[in-house]
């Protein structure tokens, strides 16, 4: 054992293959979903195809695409975010899936509706009002009427249609974006869901919309097509938001989602090494896996900057999480954009010349 290795705990567990829940992956490294805004009029073009191909060639086990919008007038808040509907957009996505497969990778689209985070009068459809369970934005402003039950039924159908289209386009599964304060999460969260019908109530009742989206998607794709659900406690701008505050509540919250047909949970946290509850060192992904028995993806500030050299204890924690089976997969966001060769760098224990993430990186599709 040389000096360096003593200070850089082995991440060999990252390079074990994964086979469960209908997914076979070459390793445990997932490209986190990241909105990029390079799809004019909602259509992902050849540069987007090349971007995902490059990340597959660079060896990530699974790519979760940037959030891509279901078909609904107020799903989006930018004309440059990709649609997951319409012939041209779906043809673009089909090329993305083919390119990733040619490069030996796997890919799932992240299906998204922004809820009331969309600003009134904003592009791409200034005339479409934002929608959310109670028509409230995350600051409590009433921006629209609450969704009606028939509008909710239409939204559920739109997710299921996108799931059907993902399978037809050759993807390896889907991820439902149920995190960060967007539409599905707005049903989960008491602050944005004040409904008194079957879609509102306590934190268990507030899972109903997501559960119906999952069930409808499952019905659309059949039993062998993986459905990943991304969820979070934190919301954009509300880092200390909580859906649940104890493991018992988390178990009750996740049960209807598991029963509805989730195959893998993607537990979004900002720092993977932070315990979720006082009872143990487990993070949100660790608790989720323990309480549901389903595979889990962990995420949050993995190997930013010179983390590998400067924070051996954090990296040791990451190694432990995988080796102890607390989580199965690790998603990497910003560090992967800053270091497109992340996978081979880590595999060869090459922790020098690490590029720091800076948001200026987002100006190019790298
Ligand atoms: C994100 N993130 C994100 N999450 C998500 O579920 N859907 C999305 O479309 C996006 N978009 C997005 C864009 C950009 C530029 C960034 C940096 C992040 C969050 C992302 O998936 C991840 O959870 C966080 O970035 C934390 O991981 P890292 O970056 O600390 O490894």
Nearest residue (CA) to ligand 1, atom 13: 34
pLDDT at 9: 64
Cβ–ligand 1 distance for 185 under 6 Å, the answer no
Please state, in angstroms and rounded to a whole number, the distance separating the CA atoms of residues 147 and 281: 39
Cβ–ligand 1 distance for 34 under 6 Å, the answer yes
Nearest residue (CA) to ligand 1, atom 14: 34
Please state, in angstroms and rounded to a whole number, the distance separating the CA atoms of residues 286 and 267: 9
239 part of the active site? no
Ligand 1, residue 357: give the atom nearest the CA.
Answer: 29
Please state, in angstroms and rounded to a whole number, the distance separating the CA atoms of residues 231 and 284: 10
Helix orientation angle between 208-221 and 247-260, rounded to the nearest 10 degrees = 30
pLDDT at 2: 38
Q: Does domain 16-260+274-293 have CATH number 3.20.20.70?
A: yes
Locate tokens 């089909």: which residue?
94
Domain locations along the chain:
16-260+274-293
Cβ–ligand 1 distance for 217 under 6 Å, the answer no
Phi/psi-derived region of residue 140, left when phi > 0, alpha when psi is between -120 and 50, beta in every other case: left
Nearest residue (CA) to ligand 1, atom 12: 34
Please state, in angstroms and rounded to a whole number, the distance separating the CA atoms of residues 281 and 279: 7
Structure tokens at 340: 């497109």
pLDDT at 1: 35
Cβ–ligand 1 distance for 300 under 6 Å, the answer yes
**Residue whose C-alpha is closest to residue 181's, from 244, 234, 123, 242:** 234
Locate tokens 């992240």: which residue?
110
Nearest residue (CA) to ligand 1, atom 6: 33
Per the CB < 8 A criterion, the answer to whether 222 and 260 are in contact is no
Phi/psi-derived region of residue 353, left when phi > 0, alpha when psi is between -120 and 50, beta in every other case: left
pLDDT digit of tens for each residue in the chain (366 aa)? Answer: 334 444 456 789 999 999 999 999 999 999 999 999 999 999 999 999 999 999 999 999 999 999 999 999 999 999 999 999 999 999 999 999 999 999 999 999 999 999 999 999 999 999 999 999 999 999 999 999 999 999 999 999 999 999 999 999 999 999 999 999 999 999 999 999 999 999 999 999 999 999 999 999 999 999 999 999 999 999 999 999 999 999 999 999 999 999 999 999 999 999 999 999 998 999 999 999 999 999 999 999 998 766 777 888 888 899 999 999 999 999 999 999 999 999 998 888 776 678 889 999 999 998
Cβ–ligand 1 distance for 302 under 6 Å, the answer yes
Structure tokens at 37: 């805004």
Nearest residue (CA) to ligand 1, atom 15: 34
Q: Tally Cβ neighbours within 10 Å of residue 233.
A: 23
Which residue among 333, 334, 363, 364 is best mutated to probe the pocket of ligand 1, counting the most ligand atoms within 8 A of its Cβ? 333
Ligand 1, residue 334: give the atom nearest the CA.
Answer: 29
Structure tokens at 39: 């799809």
Give per-residue burial for 313-347: e unless 16+ CB within 10 Å, then b. ebbebbbebbeeebbbbbbbbbbbbbbbebbebbb
User: Residues 182, 199, 272, 357: which is the catalytic one?
Assistant: 182
330: part of which helix (H) or strand (E)?
Answer: strand 329-332
Ligand 1, residue 66: give the atom nearest the CA.
Answer: 9
CA dihedral 277, 282, 284, 289 (to 10 degrees): -130
Structure tokens at 239: 């880092």
List all residues 6 or more positions away from 223 whose beta carbon is below 8 Å from its beta carbon.
none
- ipTM for the whole complex: 1.00
Give per-residue burial for 87-96: e unless 16+ CB within 10 Å, then b. eebbebbbbb
Ligand 1, residue 268: give the atom nearest the CA.
Answer: 23
Please state, in angstroms and rounded to a whole number, the distance separating the CA atoms of residues 112 and 109: 9
Please state, in angstroms and rounded to a whole number, the distance separating the CA atoms of residues 9 and 132: 45
Cβ–ligand 1 distance for 365 under 6 Å, the answer no
């Amino acid at each position: 054992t040389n000096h360096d290795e003593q200070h850089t705990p082995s991440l060999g567990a990252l390079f074990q293959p994964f086979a469960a829940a209908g997914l076979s992956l070459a390793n445990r490294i997932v490209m986190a979903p990241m909105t990029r805004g390079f799809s004019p009029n909602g259509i992902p073009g050849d540069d987007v195809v090349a971007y995902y191909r490059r990340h597959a060639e660079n060896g990530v086990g699974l790519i979760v695409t940037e959030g891509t919008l279901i078909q609904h007038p107020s799903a989006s808040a930018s004309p440059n975010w990709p649609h997951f509907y319409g012939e041209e957009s779906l043809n673009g996505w089909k090329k993305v899936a083919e390119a990733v497969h040619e490069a030996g990778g796997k890919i799932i689209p992240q299906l998204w509706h922004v809820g009331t985070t969309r600003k009134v009068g904003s592009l791409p459809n200034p005339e479409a009002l934002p929608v959310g369970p109670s028509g409230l934005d995350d600051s409590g402003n009433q921006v629209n009427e609450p969704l009606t039950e028939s509008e909710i039924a239409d939204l559920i159908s739109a997710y299921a249609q996108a799931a059907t289209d993902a399978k037809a386009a050759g993807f390896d599964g889907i991820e439902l974006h149920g995190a960060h304060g967007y539409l599905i999460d707005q049903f989960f969260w008491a602050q944005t869901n004040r409904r008194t019908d079957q879609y509102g109530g306590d934190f268990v009742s507030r899972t109903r919309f997501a559960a119906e989206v999952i069930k409808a998607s499952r019905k659309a794709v059949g039993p062998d097509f993986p459905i990943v659900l991304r969820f979070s406690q934190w919301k954009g701008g509300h880092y200390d938001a909580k859906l649940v505050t104890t493991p018992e509540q988390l178990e009750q919250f996740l049960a209807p989602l598991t029963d509805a047909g989730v195959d893998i949970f993607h537990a979004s946290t900002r720092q993977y090494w932070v315990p979720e509850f006082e009872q143990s060192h487990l993070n949100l992904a660790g608790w989720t896996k323990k309480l549901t028995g389903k595979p889990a993806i962990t995420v949050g500030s993995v190997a930013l900057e010179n983390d590998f050299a400067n924070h051996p204890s954090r990296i040791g924690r990451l190694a432990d999480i995988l080796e102890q089976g607390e989580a199965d997969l690790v998603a990497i966001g910003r560090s992967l954009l800053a270091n497109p060769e992340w996978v081979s760098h880590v595999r060869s224990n090459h922790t020098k010349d690490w590029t720091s993430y800076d948001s200026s990186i987002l100006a190019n599709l790298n």
